[in-house]
Structure 1
Amino acid sequence: MHSVGAARLVERVIELGNSVIADTVQFAEEHMDLAVA
């Protein structure tokens, strides 16, 4: 079973994804007067 390795990989991907989303949202807020609902 490789469930532990898979879980760690998924966690890492989620962390990276959340980081990219956060950076994108911050960029949008700073450079375009957007209100994200």
Structure 2
Amino acid sequence: MSNRNLLYTGLTRAKKLAIIIGSKKAIGMCMHSRES
């Protein structure tokens, strides 16, 4: 499973609050990557 899918799954499964810890650059790279 790709990092992008893991990020999406974690955010959509959060019931009340999701806290993402990391740099904006790293999170942006994760969101825009399509590799597995």
TM-score by length of 2: 0.38
Q: Which has the larger radius of gyration?
A: 1
Structure with the higher fraction of residues in helix conformation:
1
Which of 1 and 2 has higher RCO (CA within 8 Å, sep 6+)? 2
